[in-house]
Amino acid sequence: MSKDSQVSITVIRRLPKYHRYLGDLLKRGINRISSQELSNLTGFTASQIRQDLNNFGGFGQQGYGYNVEELYNELGKILGLDREYKVVVTGAGNLGHAVTLYRGFKDAGFNIIGVFDINPDNPRYASRNMEVKHRDGLEDFIKENNVEIGIITTSKENAQEVADIYVKSGIKAIWNFATVDLIVPDDVALESVRLSESLFTLSYFLRSQDER
């Protein structure tokens, strides 16, 4: 994400992990946890965890630890997971298809209400009773439906054009999967997923093993 805020992006990136572990603990019926136990689970140090959570007011009590349900709910609120979001996907290829059908996003409140492509005739979507709309209608659709999040799963050649349409239509949060650095205004949050860059850390490792 490219946005400035009081809390550093490094801290924010750790919150979903805390949130996930707390959710698992809740399911297992565990109501209370110390920062040390949370440290054992997550791999972050206890002092790191306390420091991170203190950014948001601090939830623990000396000698008691954290109330799991309370902390889970509070982190959910901080992460904006206590409400739903309207989302569009542009780029109806394999990745767009996978992202659109991924249940985890819907379960977390991210509702994909429109899928767009320059070529809307897509038998794969049709076979699932999903309509792909022509990209010409993207701007109107976003405005009429107050879409808040735009996902980009186009080729890298088309990605900036789609980002421009998103920005022009009022979208403030863009999730980009194309392998290109997009340019967006300062008040728009941009989060890019770099799958190739992630994969290349593994080839780097295998390569460095070769040399030993």
Q: Which residues bind a copy of itself (CB under 8 A)?
A: 1, 3, 5, 9, 12-13, 15-17, 19-20, 42-43, 77-81, 85, 94-95, 97-98, 101-102, 104-105, 108-110, 124, 148-149, 172-175, 179, 181, 189, 191, 193-210
Where do the H-state alpha helices sit in the chain?
A: 9-27, 35-42, 46-54, 68-78, 94-101, 103-107, 123-126, 138-145, 156-168, 195-210
Residues 188 and 117: their CA atoms lie apart, in Å, by 22
Beta bridge partners of 92: none
Instruction: Decide whether 62 or 211 has the Cβ nearer to a copy of itself.
Output: 211
Instruction: Decide whether 5 or 61 has the Cβ nearer to a copy of itself.
Output: 5
Least Å distance, CB 138 to a copy of itself, is 19
Least Å distance, CB 42 to a copy of itself, is 8
Residues 9 and 2: their CA atoms lie apart, in Å, by 9
Instruction: Decide whether 129 or 198 has the Cβ nearer to a copy of itself.
Output: 198
Half-sphere exposure of 172 (CA within 13 A, CB side): 5
Least Å distance, CB 153 to a copy of itself, is 9
Residues 187 and 3: their CA atoms lie apart, in Å, by 8
Instruction: Decide whether 4 or 62 has the Cβ nearer to a copy of itself.
Output: 4
SS3 at position 28: coil
Least Å distance, CB 63 to a copy of itself, is 28
